[in-house]
Chain A
Amino acid sequence: MRPRHPQRPARRERLSDRIVNSDLEDEEQSRQPAPQIRKRRRVQEPPTDVSPTVKRPNLAYENPLANSPDSPPGSPQPAAPSALDQIDLELIEYPGGVRSWDHLKAGNFTINVVVCSEFTKPDNIVKAVTLLSQISSGTATTVDPKTIPSSLAVSGTNPFTSLLAASQHANTHLSQVEGAIAVTRLKTIMSYLVMYFTLEYVVVQQLKEEHPTEGGKWIAGMKYRRFSEMLNEGTGPTVSAATLRSHCKYGKAFWEYGQSLGIASLLMFAVLDTGLTKIGEAGLRGVSGIASDLTTSGTWWGFAHSIGPPAFRTLFGARDVAYKVPELIARIRAEPLPQSFTAQAINAINEAYTSTQSQASRSSEQLTTGPPTTSEPDLPEDKWQIVIGSKVLPVRRHPAGSLEPAQVLKRNLGEWLNHTSPDDVVQDGDGNSIPFKAFRTLLPSNEISTDLILFYVKVFNMKAMPGRLAVPYESLTKHFATGSFEKFLLTIPKATDGSKPIKIISPIDLETATIGITILPQESVVITHNWSNDRTLTEGIVQVSSLLLVVLPRLP
């Protein structure tokens, strides 16, 4: 162990300034209203082939307080009322035929391979939200201002004229498209969609009005030629009926993908390397099945469910909100997710998030302040629709939009804690065992057990940004005592830019309070956090901090 750094005045002043500024900010922030408690959570449950009535216990909620005083010995003891009694998790029950998403890899269907290998990659997710941010903020239009806007301009007073104009722009774009950059690809996808909508809801409609005695077969045979004639009347490049047929076919395919896999899937298609025409040619066979299977991927669930609303608003709606990448990343991370999502995906997204932040600023502290949040609420799902002429197309939100009520189970958190045997041993996503009685200390009047603190330390470490780590205080002191603290620091994952550990968090379990310690090894700074009103602890806390500081190694 090395002695601590000689303190430089500049650093001391900086810390002091930070504290003063924090105090000022605290006053401002304390005036903000407290957040609302959401009473319900929607989470994903893995698929099961077995009837829930066989495999699951009866989870009908029973208020423990309502138990009769004459309950037989051994029955659950009434627990104190808890906020957790009011929280129902909504769990998804998949039909028996649904496979896990990784099962799709075995298929030969091209779109299966694309979906399985690419849709759930965190780096593609980050690319997709970056694209969405560019489009929503308007920066993407600077790439090629002559191409059509990336949202559908279908809300004019004369929908036919508007759509035809959009289709002419679309045709211009499709004839010029080069490369596979995401913005261009998204515009191409949207162009296909415009073509498809125009054909089916304007051209066909007009043909029916002009030739009321003709049947559907005649209309189908004429519609491409008529559409071609309409477009070729304009100043854009000429287009054959056969080419239009392909464009519209692709448009139909992408519309079906968007409806089945979620609007956010259009973003994902745009950032992939797979050719759009190849996707369009793949056909629609099995898309609905893929959609169901794909929802068993926690990664896709989090992306599709959280990015769907801003994607709809940007691509098909008013496009009146400029979404920032950190905000979109935060949406994904805020999704209640199954354990399968946690370690790899969260870490990968965190790294991408860190990288994004680092590009804007090298200040690591900026990471802790988190992203801004938009003040604009998402549109309710019943207002997800596109109006084309006299036709209103509802847009489904994936994956919840396709769920039947019977597929959703509710599980009450208070009941879960109260009625699960305390002797049960459960495992977290990393395979660590923990007695269930530790979780029951979440219920009122119990001290949060040491086992539970350790559990959360492990959970949060799994999701931590690189360079940050939580360590039980006992482990920390052990490293100090054995003089291995420097070696210990070397085991901490480095940040994406290769820098040394940034933060170490540790709890101190005192008799009357839990204290937090933040160690910033690079700066030889130890900060203690005492949330208790027991100010008599202050002196002892400072002593502990000073002791830690003495043994901090000198890091370059």
Chain B
Amino acid sequence: MSANAPIKAEEVVGTKRDSTLRFLEFLGQELTGSRGLAQVTDLGTIRPLDSILESLAVEAYLQVLKDPWRVVPTRFFESGSVL
């Protein structure tokens, strides 16, 4: 069976960029069972696009702490994780 998911009127966007942001928000919710990874918001609430963008940017920053312009002692990241 195939179906189009009901999209709330407030979620509808006008540009491809914004639809991609909506998809990335949806992706995080569906895979992790929460509304976003860096921020949990009220369920069912339509998140403003700026809020989605913020969460994505925070997530990106957290993921690249190991970036080349910032020197981190390698021992901290031995074997790729401290866990």
In the complex, are the beta carbons of A531 and B58 less than 8 A apart?
A: no
The contact string, 1 if C-beta is below 8 Å from chain A, for chain B 43-58, is 1111110110110111
Q: Given the complex of chains A and B, what is the CA–CA distance between A334 and B63 in angstroms?
A: 15
Q: Given the complex of chains A and B, what is the CA–CA distance between A518 and B27 in angstroms?
A: 10
14-51 of chain A: CB within 8 A of chain B: 15, 19, 22-23, 25-26, 28-30, 32-35, 37-38, 41, 43, 45-50
The contact string, 1 if C-beta is below 8 Å from chain A, for chain B 20-33, is 11111011111111
In the complex, are the beta carbons of A30 and B10 less than 8 A apart?
A: yes
Q: Given the complex of chains A and B, what is the CA–CA distance between A457 and B32 in angstroms?
A: 12
- Shortest Cβ distance from residue A4 to the other chain B in the assembled complex, whole angstroms: 8
In the complex, are the beta carbons of A84 and B32 less than 8 A apart?
A: no
- Shortest Cβ distance from residue A401 to the other chain B in the assembled complex, whole angstroms: 22
Contact-residue size bin, chain A (C-beta under 8 Å from the other chain): 35 or more
Tally B residues with Cβ within 8 Å of A: 74
Contacts of B26 in A (CB 8 A): 505, 516, 529
Q: Given the complex of chains A and B, what is the CA–CA distance between A514 and B22 in angstroms?
A: 9
Stretch at the interface among A149-157, A309-317, A387-395, A418-426: A418-426
In the complex, are the beta carbons of A425 and B11 less than 8 A apart?
A: no
- Shortest Cβ distance from residue B52 to the other chain A in the assembled complex, whole angstroms: 10
Q: Which residue of A83, A89, A330, A336 is within 8 Å of B53 (Cβ)?
A: A83
Contacts of B19 in A (CB 8 A): 513-515, 530-532
Q: Which residue of B lies closest to A430 (CB)?
A: B80
The contact string, 1 if C-beta is below 8 Å from chain B, for chain A 260-280, is 000000000000000000000
In the complex, are the beta carbons of B51 and A46 less than 8 A apart?
A: no
| Chain B CB within 8 A of A429 CB | yes
394-412 of chain A: CB within 8 A of chain B: 411
In the complex, are the beta carbons of A367 and B20 less than 8 A apart?
A: no
Q: Given the complex of chains A and B, what is the CA–CA distance between A533 and B8 in angstroms?
A: 11
Contacts A89-B61, A417-B57 given; indicate if A334 touches B1 (C-beta within 8 A): no
In the complex, are the beta carbons of A455 and B13 less than 8 A apart?
A: no
Q: Which residue of A lies closest to B69 (CB)?
A: A57
In the complex, are the beta carbons of A370 and B63 less than 8 A apart?
A: no
In the complex, are the beta carbons of B6 and A465 less than 8 A apart?
A: no
| Chain B CB within 8 A of A308 CB | no
- Shortest Cβ distance from residue B78 to the other chain A in the assembled complex, whole angstroms: 8
Q: Which residue of A lies closest to B78 (CB)?
A: A102
| Chain B CB within 8 A of A368 CB | yes
In the complex, are the beta carbons of A416 and B27 less than 8 A apart?
A: no
Q: Given the complex of chains A and B, what is the CA–CA distance between A373 and B45 in angstroms?
A: 13
In the complex, are the beta carbons of B68 and A425 less than 8 A apart?
A: yes
In the complex, are the beta carbons of A34 and B66 less than 8 A apart?
A: no
In the complex, are the beta carbons of A19 and B45 less than 8 A apart?
A: no
- Shortest Cβ distance from residue B48 to the other chain A in the assembled complex, whole angstroms: 6
Q: Given the complex of chains A and B, what is the CA–CA distance between A468 and B14 in angstroms?
A: 29
Q: Which residue of B2, B8, B30, B62 is within 8 Å of A26 (Cβ)?
A: B8
- Residue with the highest number of chain A CB atoms closer than 10 Å, among B13, B16, B31, B67: B31
Contacts A37-B50, A448-B20 given; indicate if A15 touches B30 (C-beta within 8 A): no
Q: Which residue of A421, A442, A507 is within 8 Å of B23 (Cβ)?
A: A507
Q: Which residue of A lies closest to B22 (CB)?
A: A531
Contacts of A527 in B (CB 8 A): 2-5
Name 7 interchain pairs, CB-CB below 8 A, sorted by A: A19-B5, A41-B38, A353-B33, A447-B16, A516-B26, A530-B4, A542-B4
The 3 closest A-B pairs by CB, nearest first: A29-B44, A545-B2, A83-B50
Given contacts A297-B83, A429-B66, 5 further A-B contacts (CB under 8 A): A43-B58, A55-B70, A447-B16, A459-B59, A531-B11
